[in-house]
Amino acid sequence: MKMNIAISRLLTSSAGRATSFSAVALLAAAIGAAVFLQGKHPLEASPDTSAAAHREASALPASSAGREEAGDPRLLHVPADKLDSIGIRTEAVRRGLWPASLRLTGRLELNESRIAHVSSLVEGVVREVKVELGQAVEAGEVLAYVDSRQVGEAKLQLVRDQLQLKSAKRACDWLETIHKNTSALLETLQEDRPLSEIEAAFQDRPVGTYREQLVSSLARKKRAEADFQRVCSLADAAVVAQKQVITAQAEHEAAAAAYRALVEQVRFDAKQAALDAQQELQEAEAAVAISRSRLLILGYSRQDIETMDPIAEAERVAYYPIRSPIAGTVIAKHARLSKHVEAEAELIEIADLSTVWLRADVFEKDLEAVAGLEGKPVTFLAESYPGRKFRAEVFTPGSVVDDETRAARLLAIADNPERLLKPGMFVQIDLSPTSDRRVLQAPSSAIQRHGKAAFVFVSRNNGEFEARDVELGRSTSQTTEIAGGLTGGERVVVQGGFALKSQMLSALMVEE
């Protein structure tokens, strides 16, 4: 009952006391001290209630006598004859480099840049599966076959287009030859050479139907010209009437005009036929190119297309090979015989295990330790291989702090030539901070806490100790960074602090 009253009075009076501790922190401290002094546990035991701490507290006077300045609980005085029995030990706060190593727990993961989710680009039915889980495969190796109507039709269309291309090429070559020889024949006919000589010169040169048309028209022209000349000579001798001369002249002119028209028509037709053949050839080439592109889109290589023979493949013409894009190990297999699969459905997963990723969460207090580690090596240990150290190169020390975990994600890549490192393993990472900034630090045993409050006992002259609030930075089991409240060279209590805390809190309770 007295304890409850004392705690209540302490809570009420703490609001008016000029101290740097909050009322909540003082209340928690008072409860802890009272529980220790009475040996009861109405709430929970303080982490400092060890046998050694009990001896330290018992060595101090139970009253508040001996405080140098009444009313200020932060100043304590311990008689000289009590210092040794309490076992108070102090160390100087120093400024120096933060301890050279930081150990984090990490996890090995697959190298996400070297994972292949292999799927079928076409719809079909799985006819063959050629790999098993854990099997090593090479890049380009066939993993499975899918029977696809789309693939079969694409291959057969290529065959049809290739046949049409061959036909178009033969036709184009023939008409080009006809055009070339016809042009040469027209040039020869203009030289007014004997027909027998012209026929002999073009006997082995294909001209097509144009040869007969031109030679016949030219023969009619020459015959009409000869008749006209003969009639003219007879008319001069008054053998024939003038009417026959006019008729012969008209036939001659008509034959000459017909020949000229035929020459122009033949020249145009031969050229146009060659142009049409070239157009058909280009269309056939485009059709073949489209068929090839369709197969390229389906994943076939140019070499595959050049060497494939759809006719010889017979019933396997529709078999579509699923190939591995990388060299690696099969880590997942969803392909099943006779299973119908949709386009883009994942069938097999391949991972290159020659490298693995090392992933670790770095909390805000340790971010300085990883700053500047990009491109630098770190070492880590795996429980499976005691005493063996592995190396990884950091490629991102963490650029974003997660809202939920309040940690940045460090990623490093490690070579794994012997496949000893298994994705999913937990490892211990030793990090070496890159900062050379000297920071103020104190032994972690000097830090006293209650709730969110943190303070230390600073040693003054003649057995005087001051409880002083401090701001903390990074912390290890041995050392804590002091962000505010202390200066270099000050000595703080690193052993016996619980006794001083108990003396301070009990003095507050007695005063009330």
CA–CA separation, 349 vs 327, rounded Å?
A: 12
Q: Are 428 and 380 in contact (CB under 8 A)?
A: yes
Q: Are 100 and 433 in contact (CB under 8 A)?
A: yes
Q: For 426-468, how does the pLDDT look when each residue is reduced to its tens digit (9 = 90+)?
A: 999 987 655 567 889 999 999 998 778 899 999 988 788 999 9
Q: Are 125 and 339 in contact (CB under 8 A)?
A: yes
CA–CA separation, 347 vs 296, rounded Å?
A: 20
Question: What is the reported pLDDT for 322?
Answer: 95
Question: What is the reported pLDDT for 473?
Answer: 84
Question: How does the average pLDDT of the chain come out, rounded?
Answer: 82
Which 3 state secondary structure label does DSSP give 330? strand
Q: Are 433 and 398 in contact (CB under 8 A)?
A: no
Give φ, ψ of 362 to 5 degrees.
-110, 115
Q: Is 400 left (phi over 0), alpha (psi -120 to 50) or beta?
A: beta
CA atoms within 13 A on the CB side of 11: 10
Q: For 345-374, how does the pLDDT look when each residue is reduced to its tens digit (9 = 90+)?
A: 999 999 999 999 999 999 887 787 787 788
Sign of CA dihedral 151, 156, 157, 162: positive
Tally of CB atoms within 10 A around 452: 9
Strands 377-382, 426-431: pairing is antiparallel
With CA atoms as reference, report the closest residue to 178 among 262, 272, 263. 272
CA–CA separation, 335 vs 323, rounded Å?
A: 13
Tally of CB atoms within 10 A around 501: 27
Question: What is the reported pLDDT for 490?
Answer: 93
With CA atoms as reference, report the closest residue to 469 among 22, 34, 12. 22
The first and second tokens of residue 223, run together, are: 């015959």
Give φ, ψ of 449 to 5 degrees.
-135, 150
CA atoms within 13 A on the CB side of 376: 13
Which 3 state secondary structure label does DSSP give 379? strand
Q: For 132-170, how does the pLDDT look when each residue is reduced to its tens digit (9 = 90+)?
A: 999 999 999 999 999 999 999 999 999 999 999 999 999
Secondary structure of 449-469 in HEC code, one letter for each residue: EECCEEEEEEECCCCEEEEEE
CA–CA separation, 333 vs 133, rounded Å?
A: 7
* Position 53, amino acid: A
With CA atoms as reference, report the closest residue to 422 among 164, 170, 109, 151. 109
Give φ, ψ of 16 to 5 degrees.
-100, 0
With CA atoms as reference, report the closest residue to 352 among 330, 368, 334, 369. 330
Q: Are 149 and 122 in contact (CB under 8 A)?
A: no
Residue that is written with structure tokens 């630090």 in the block: 441
Question: What is the reported pLDDT for 511?
Answer: 55
Q: Are 146 and 335 in contact (CB under 8 A)?
A: no
Tally of CB atoms within 10 A around 122: 20
CA–CA separation, 324 vs 129, rounded Å?
A: 13
Find how far residue 30's CA is from the centre of its chain. 57
With CA atoms as reference, report the closest residue to 145 among 110, 168, 166, 118. 118
Question: What is the reported pLDDT for 24?
Answer: 37
Q: Are 161 and 295 in contact (CB under 8 A)?
A: no
CA–CA separation, 246 vs 253, rounded Å?
A: 11
Q: Are 103 and 430 in contact (CB under 8 A)?
A: yes
Helix spans in 298-366 (H): 302-307, 310-313
Q: For 295-319, how does the pLDDT look when each residue is reduced to its tens digit (9 = 90+)?
A: 999 989 999 999 999 999 998 999 9
Question: For residue 63, what pLDDT band results from cuts at 50, 70 and 90?
Answer: very low
CA–CA separation, 140 vs 232, rounded Å?
A: 89
Question: For residue 115, what pLDDT band results from cuts at 50, 70 and 90?
Answer: very high
* Position 133, amino acid: L
5: pLDDT strictly greater than 70: no
Question: What is the reported pLDDT for 35?
Answer: 36
CA–CA separation, 509 vs 35, rounded Å?
A: 13
Which 3 state secondary structure label does DSSP give 25? helix
Question: For residue 97, what pLDDT band results from cuts at 50, 70 and 90?
Answer: confident
Kindly report whether the global pTM for this prediction surpasses the value 0.75.
no
Sign of CA dihedral 195, 200, 201, 206: positive
CA–CA distances in Å: residue 275 to residues 72, 264, 304: 111, 17, 34
Give the chain's radius of gyration (CA, Å).
52
Who wins on pLDDT, 223 or 169?
A: 169
